[in-house]
Structure 1
Amino acid sequence: MVSGGTYGTEEIIHGAGYRHGILILLFLPVLWCLPTAFMIGELSGALPAEGGYYAWVRRGLGNFWGFQEAWLSLAASIFDMAIYPTLFVFYLKQMSPWFGAGNHGIYAGLFVVVTCAALNLAGIRVVGITSLWLFFLLSAPFALIVVMAPFKMGALTEAHAAPATAGLGLLGGVLVAMWNYMGWDNASTIAQEVDHPQRTYPRAMIAAVALVALSYVLPFLAVYFSGIPASSFGSDGSWAAVAGLIGGKFLGFQWLRFLIVLGGMMSAFGMFNALVMSYSRLPLAMARDGMLPKFFAKMNSKSRAPWVAILFCAVCWALCLGLGFKRLVTLDIMLYGASLMLEFVTLVALRVREPELKREFRVPGGLTGAIACGIFPLLLLILATVESGNEVVLGMNGLAFGALIMVGGFVSYLATGKLRRNVRGVTAENAEAT
């Protein structure tokens, strides 16, 4: 659920250049991914509960901060999830410009939302199988780029030089890389639906960090040595043009470009599909705890999917279709980062409050190691917060807009106080009856 392949990484190289971009892609797994993966490995193994990170924070820091964790995650998901149907439509337009006219692209984006919601309503097994096959299929075109690019080493330096265009810059490249490397905690929300999560999660986290890093770095190294200038990565979807240069034509057909375009659509679809499963579990867990109306906890009798939560989330995500990529990424990281910091604080809080809690995996270094684990992610998130001040959303500074959303979490917690009191009352009555 963290990586849809190399798609979406174009702005890293365009903003930072090959050398800096590749260094970013190599160092971020150490500074950003591994600390997060270690934290997720310990907490998911110790507390494999429905709701994942929401349940951890609620147990470690209390109801108030548990609610804020869920609120921030859902708010971030609104921006995050709007990216994938938008990318799907972008690649679709490479095949048929018709989808770039009028509202055709919006309708295609809605198709992605509706289809993925239906797949999730069918049950988790359908989602798991679909996402796994999509990952391997969308990785195949980049494997071909890695194999073919060395045969054109230096040959494309001048012949296909692209004009320089304004990019995100070095800082923007770091932010986009952070977005491509984030989401490690999403799988935790379905921990109860995974066999042996205490052993599965820590191993899967570490293996996934290495696999994802390789899937990003190897294609860029291959293209770098082919001589294609960094300015060729001028916009989202530039991998299609680069693939056309490397693969050339066969019988007049740019076959590798076609595979990249098709893979881009599959990547966007697959990531959206997997994340629907994760994010829809948050309203379910909150409804069970009395923090949302109880109808959010309604389950499909056959697939056991939380159908009300899925439909509610799908409507929210559909309303955000068509927003700009750069703005979405910046706001997404800011809100996601706030929720991630609550998880790192929870890691330390549980070490102090529940030292005897059974942990199949522990962040090394004792309590000091648990505290140090969150330092580099915090520094990177401060960087992202500063950058958000350059964005404008609904006529206001991006940082102010994010702060407004966070304040909304405090207000919503107070507004749902009656629901929590009712749940506690019912729980107490049931306890007395038994």
Structure 2
Amino acid sequence: MGGTIGAGILRTPGLVAAQLPSAELVLAAWLAGGLYALVGAVCIAELAAALPKAGGWYVYAERAFGKRVGFLVGWTDWLAHCIGLAWVATTVGEYGQALLPHAISQGPYTARILALLAIGLFSLIQLRGLRAGSASQELLSLAKAVAFLALVAACFLLPIQAAPPIAPPPPAPMAIAGWRSLSLAVVLALQAVITTYDGWASPVYFAEEFSEPGRDLPRSLIGGVLAVLVLYLLINLALLHVLPIAQLASSNLPAAAAARALAGPLGGLLITALALVSLLGLINTVVMAAPRILFGLSRDGLLPSFIAQVNGGGTPSAALLLTSTAAAALVLAGSFERLLTMGAVLYVSLPLAGIASLVTLRQREPELPRPFLTWGYPVSPLLITAVSLAFLMGSTANDWLSSLAALALVATGYGVSLLAERRPLAEETS
């Protein structure tokens, strides 16, 4: 839950409602996106339970296709995490700036300073060790779930103080050309929904730190997605209860519009605080997960050995510092629109690598112990592949320049992998 729920759920319901003309279709889109994430979790649970090693998607690609392909997958995964961490930290800085006194919040670098402080704070927590990192994650995830459930309860229980003004939104694509535009509207809506569910694979990065990974990893993956699915449906039901569908579709931040209808101007501040809680939990998850990717690559000889060093608390400290430094540099770099598009392309590519690994290992290593088997195989991996490819093609067509830039970043990893292969040979010769 901590790796999935961010501030996006406060904004995305409006984007989905702008594409679909009825409450029933809006809820169906959120259900479909949740089922996509659930099927993905079911597929990856087999790999995670069979190969409970730190490193994320890299572990499965390396086992199925060799170290070079595995390194490229791990490199891609780490880049995507750094981009996502920088964007989330910057968003935290912007939300935090809005809560500061006016005299302080007007500084030109206030948001960036707050973003760097957020990265630094959670890096320090993780440096203390696995126990501190796990406790902070559980606390933030609980606080996040309670806060969103409180929002849902308020929408159903509190009287609406003032009916929100309804500005007629642009006609939804389905309303313009009828069923001819249905596919386009559904694709656009599902793109927004699937992005909001992103993060469902977070448990695989901590596979070695589960006491019974064969049992607990599938439970964490599947149970986490189900919990998020229920929460997202409740949030959309609550927003539809307070806001007419037209108001929901025209709002950039529908959760804030609903809060203002219930609590007046104070509602906007409450939603800002809720967004901060959500984003802080997301930062903590990424700061925990991304170093495990570098740790796995280093331990397998694909990066310098010092990156695999673990401190007394069980944290890969060198990998953590490298990740935090890279994210901080991206924060200082400034604009994130292109980085976000690049990150989306990278994130969607990773489940495809996981599915390819699942199918390949089923054929190549049928004797591999598998405590959990994918439900509905081979239909379920084929479904994930089809949806992911459609999402990837849509993103590429929408911004091909950023997609090419993402491929260029992945290509730099190929050069790094060649250097990593030559390093052991040079050491052996010397």
* TM-score relative to the length of structure 1: 0.85
| 1:293-332 pair list within 5 angstroms | 293-300=304-311, 302-321=312-331, 327-332=338-343
Q: Mind listing any 5+ residue stretches in structure 1 that lack a counterpart?
A: 427-434
Q: Does 1:28 align with 2:33?
A: yes
CA distance in 2, matches of 1:43, 1:274: 21
Q: Does 1:223 align with 2:236?
A: no
Conserved in 1, the CA contact under 8 Å of 2:239 and 2:254?
no
Q: Does 1:344 align with 2:373?
A: no
Determine the structure 1 residue equivalent to 2:95. Answer: 91
Conserved in 1, the CA contact under 8 Å of 2:123 and 2:287?
yes
Determine the structure 1 residue equivalent to 2:13. Answer: 13
**For residue 372 of structure 1, what is the amino acid of its counterpart?**
V
Q: 1:146 aligns with which of 152, 158, 170?
A: 152
Q: 1:245 aligns with which of 261, 268, 277?
A: 261
Larger mean CA deviation between 287-296 and 193-202 belongs to 287-296
Larger mean CA deviation between 120-129 and 16-25 belongs to 16-25
Aligned-residue offset at 1:185: 2.8
CA distance in 1, matches of 2:3, 2:27: 17
Larger mean CA deviation between 143-152 and 287-296 belongs to 143-152
| 1:231-270 pair list within 5 angstroms | 231=247, 238-248=254-264, 254=266, 256-270=267-281
**For residue 9 of structure 1, what is the amino acid of its counterpart?**
I
Change (3 A) 1:153 1:262: closer
Larger mean CA deviation between 229-238 and 200-209 belongs to 229-238
Larger mean CA deviation between 401-410 and 40-49 belongs to 401-410
**For residue 325 of structure 2, what is the amino acid of its counterpart?**
V
**For residue 109 of structure 2, what is the amino acid of its counterpart?**
N
- Give the number of the structure whose residues are more often helix, by fraction: 2
Change (3 A) 1:262 1:227: closer
Determine the structure 2 residue equivalent to 1:373. Answer: 380
Determine the structure 2 residue equivalent to 1:356. Answer: 367
Q: 1:108 aligns with which of 111, 114, 123?
A: 114
Determine the structure 1 residue equivalent to 2:83. Answer: 79
Aligned-residue offset at 1:59: 1.2
Determine the structure 2 residue equivalent to 1:430. Answer: none
Determine the structure 2 residue equivalent to 1:121. Answer: 127
Report the identity percentage.
Answer: 23
Aligned-residue offset at 1:400: 1.4
Conserved in 2, the CA contact under 8 Å of 1:161 and 1:229?
no
**Could you list the per-position Cα deviations for residues 29-82 of structure 1 after superposition, in whole angstroms to 9, with x for gaps in the alignment?**
22x212221122111111111224312221121111111110110121122112
Larger mean CA deviation between 240-249 and 123-132 belongs to 240-249
Determine the structure 2 residue equivalent to 1:38. Answer: 42
**For residue 318 of structure 2, what is the amino acid of its counterpart?**
V
Aligned-residue offset at 1:152: 6.6
Conserved in 2, the CA contact under 8 Å of 1:334 and 1:381?
no
Aligned-residue offset at 1:164: 4.6
CA distance in 2, matches of 1:103, 1:2: 28
Match of 1:291, SS?
Answer: coil
**For residue 289 of structure 2, what is the amino acid of its counterpart?**
S
**For residue 347 of structure 1, what is the amino acid of its counterpart?**
L
Q: Does 1:386 align with 2:393?
A: yes
Aligned-residue offset at 1:130: 1.1
Q: Mind listing any 5+ residue stretches in structure 2 that lack a counterpart?
A: 18-22, 174-184
**For residue 341 of structure 2, what is the amino acid of its counterpart?**
T
CA distance in 2, matches of 1:135, 1:44: 22
For these two proteins, the number of residue pairs brought into alignment is: 410
CA distance in 2, matches of 1:274, 1:309: 15
Conserved in 1, the CA contact under 8 Å of 2:89 and 2:283?
yes
Determine the structure 2 residue equivalent to 1:64. Answer: 68
Larger mean CA deviation between 65-74 and 412-421 belongs to 412-421
Conserved in 2, the CA contact under 8 Å of 1:141 and 1:259?
no
Conserved in 2, the CA contact under 8 Å of 1:10 and 1:239?
yes
Aligned-residue offset at 1:140: 2.7
Aligned-residue offset at 1:16: 2.3
Conserved in 2, the CA contact under 8 Å of 1:73 and 1:339?
yes
Conserved in 2, the CA contact under 8 Å of 1:11 and 1:233?
no
Aligned-residue offset at 1:135: 1.7
* TM-score relative to the length of structure 2: 0.85
Change (3 A) 1:81 1:271: same
CA distance in 2, matches of 1:285, 1:52: 8
CA distance in 2, matches of 1:167, 1:6: 26
**Could you list the per-position Cα deviations for residues 66-109 of structure 1 after superposition, in whole angstroms to 9, with x for gaps in the alignment?**
11110110121122112221221232233235435401100000
Match of 2:330, SS?
Answer: coil
Determine the structure 1 residue equivalent to 2:206. Answer: 190
Conserved in 2, the CA contact under 8 Å of 1:42 and 1:362?
yes
Match of 1:190, SS?
Answer: helix
**For residue 71 of structure 1, what is the amino acid of its counterpart?**
W
CA distance in 2, matches of 1:66, 1:404: 17
Aligned-residue offset at 1:403: 1.9
Determine the structure 2 residue equivalent to 1:432. Answer: none
Aligned-residue offset at 1:131: 1.4
Conserved in 2, the CA contact under 8 Å of 1:156 and 1:227?
no
Change (3 A) 1:44 1:270: same
Q: 1:207 aligns with which of 207, 223, 226?
A: 223
**Could you list the per-position Cα deviations for residues 92-141 of structure 1 after superposition, in whole angstroms to 9, with x for gaps in the alignment?**
23323543540110000000111111111111111111111112222333
CA distance in 1, matches of 2:144, 2:92: 13
Change (3 A) 1:139 1:243: farther
